[in-house]
Structure 1
Amino acid sequence: MRLQGKTALVTGAAAGIGQAIALRFAQEGADVVIAAHRDNAEAEQAVAQIRQTGRRVFLVSGDVGKVADARAMIAAGVQAAGPLDILVNNAGVEVRAPFVDVSEADYDRVLDTNLKGPFFLTQAFVQHLQDRQPARQPGDQSGSHPAGRIINISSVHEELPFPHFTSYCASKGGLRMMMRNLAIELAPLGITVNNIAPGAIETPINRNLMSDPTELSALLRNIPLGRLGQPGDVAGLAVFLASADADYMTGTTLFVDGGLLWNYAEQ
């Protein structure tokens, strides 16, 4: 029970990787706030699944790409569950299009969800941690300070080019640099910031890929371990980063990709 006594808010937790992380956190003893885009049957099903672990679970909803919604979700999570210790920025979208055809609306949707959302969710989370216990000033060794964990679900495409998904790659590359910068800025507050970069994971975002045998076969040839990842492959690493085992780890991207990053070649 590595997360006993902790409370986590996980965005995009109604399905896929986010749901797997939320469930694994609960199994490790954490109370969980599921932050979903909508309060619908899928989100309620995720809540019911986590409730079976015996942990407290709460549901908040909103569009992470809207700053007011992002701040409201943190506030609602605190009001429902009490003090938060862990934030997982998992919600994400991608839109396929040749670069010359990308619309402003699609660009804004991807960058708002994948980068602006985590930025302002993290800001609200850090403000919450500071409100719980004021941060010590530089050079002051006398007092304690807030401690928290921030975990961003990035992608191999923070490193790996992905033609026809330029806005997605830009958002994940931005998330990488945001993580690195915040890891340095927030370390004096006792807050760690790390990214998990999944490769091809069997989730709803990859539904089209999984339904195309030719495309799937080509991808699998690029994965040395020979299979798609499962949401649980990511969830186990998230538990580690959220636990005391990772107290001295910050500013790092950890890849969960079956070897894809260093073996990939466009067909």
Structure 2
Amino acid sequence: MKTLFITGGAKRIGREIVLKFAREGFDICFTYLKSEKEAFKTKEDVESIGRKCVILKGDLRDLNTILKWRDQFFKEFEKCDCLINNAALFYKGNLKELTEKDFDEIMSVNLKAPLFISKYFSEKMKEGVIINIADVAGKVLWKDYLIYSLSKASLIALTKILAKELAPSIRVCAIAPGVILIDSPQKEKALKKVPLKKMGNPEDIAEACFFIYKNNYITGTVLYIDGGRSIYG
């Protein structure tokens, strides 16, 4: 039986990834922090497909929590076929607005947690795939989203380093979403530099994750699902 572990699987992109893999025959384990109602709804939906679903609550800024998740996962499942680091914090702010607290919090969730989750899980994985959900901001580097862009650029770098270190048994890739179903006054501005002139949706990211999982000759790659946004500065 194939298994998936994913952080932040209760809603939005994480939920769609969970449902996609469940439909493809995977048993699921996902984490959440505050979205309890959504987490149990997603669990019910997975189980209605006929797949096992384990949900784990906790704060991934705590390394002890990550270790407990790893141990709980391997008590429930014999192996981890696919690990997806999806949970993240989004933060708007430039250099003038940045505080040390902001830096520590964003980097802890967006970089430190994926690093240590990958470390702890890979110690138990004989083979498999790790996918990091990055962002087009990690390439375009928005000055008004300084620390967020930095965290995602660092996650892309981490992806390539891990791909080297964990090969040949474990493949490591990243997916960098662009404008995904936002409903705000910034929508028109955001789409100005998107050649396809439309937003993506969470299902696009879920399909990309499964594509990477299925193609066993991909590693160290960043797949931009962004309507072409990454070709502009």
CA-based RMSD of the aligned residues comes to 1.4
Q: Secondary structure at the match of 2:101?
A: helix
After TM superposition, the structure 1 = structure 2 runs for residues 247-258 of structure 1, keeping only pairs within 5 Å, are 247-258=216-227
1:218 aligned partner: 189
How much has 1:76 moved relative to structure 2?
A: 1.6
Q: Deviations over 1:211-254 (max 9, x none)?
A: 21xx21122222121211100000001011122xx111101100
- 1:112 pairs with 99, 108, 111, which one? 108
Partner of 2:175: 196
- Kept in 2, the 8 Å contact 1:39–1:60? The answer is no
In the alignment, does 2:180 pair up with 1:184?
no
Q: CA offsets, 1:163-217, max 9 Å, x none?
A: 22111111111111111111111103x1000000000112xxx5xxx221xx211
After TM superposition, the score normalised by the length of structure 2 is 0.95
Amino acid at match of 1:105: K
Of the structure 1 ranges 222-231 and 20-29, higher mean CA displacement relative to structure 2 is found in 222-231
8 Å CA contact 2:93–2:147 kept in 1: the answer is no
Partner of 2:120: 124
User: Unaligned stretches of 5+ in structure 2?
Assistant: none
- 65, 69, 76: which one aligns with 1:73: 69
Corresponding residue of 1:135? none
Output aligned runs, 1:161-172, within 5 Å: 161-172=141-152
1:133 corresponds in structure 2 to none
Q: C-alpha deviations, 1:89-140, integer Å up to 9, x for none? A: 00011211231121211111110000000000001111112xxxxxxxxxxx
For 1:240, the equivalent position in structure 2 comes to: 211
Shift of 1:69: 1.3
SS in structure 1 of the partner of residue 50 of structure 2: coil
Q: Which residue of 1 aligns with 2:59?
A: 63
| Poorly superposed stretches of 4+, deviation over 3 Å | none
Letter in 1 for 2:165: E
Aligned length: 233
Shift in Å at residue 39 of structure 1?
6.5
In structure 1, the gaps of 5 or more residues are: 130-145
**How far 1:82 moved relative to its partner?**
3.5
2:83 paired residue number: 87
Matching residue's letter, 1:211: S
Higher Rg of the two aligned structures: 1
| Residue equivalent to 2:26 | 30
Task: Output the CA distance in 2 between the equivalents of 1:36 and 1:54.
Answer: 21
Q: Tell me, what secondary structure is at the counterpart of 2:140?
A: coil
Matched to 2:98, the amino acid is V
**SS of aligned partner of 2:142:** coil
Task: Return the letter of the residue paired with 1:62.
Answer: G
TM-superposition CA deviations, 1:142-180 (whole Å, max 9, x none): xxxx21110000011111121221111111111111111
What amino acid is aligned across from residue 172 of structure 2 in structure 1? V
- What secondary structure does 1:101 align onto? coil
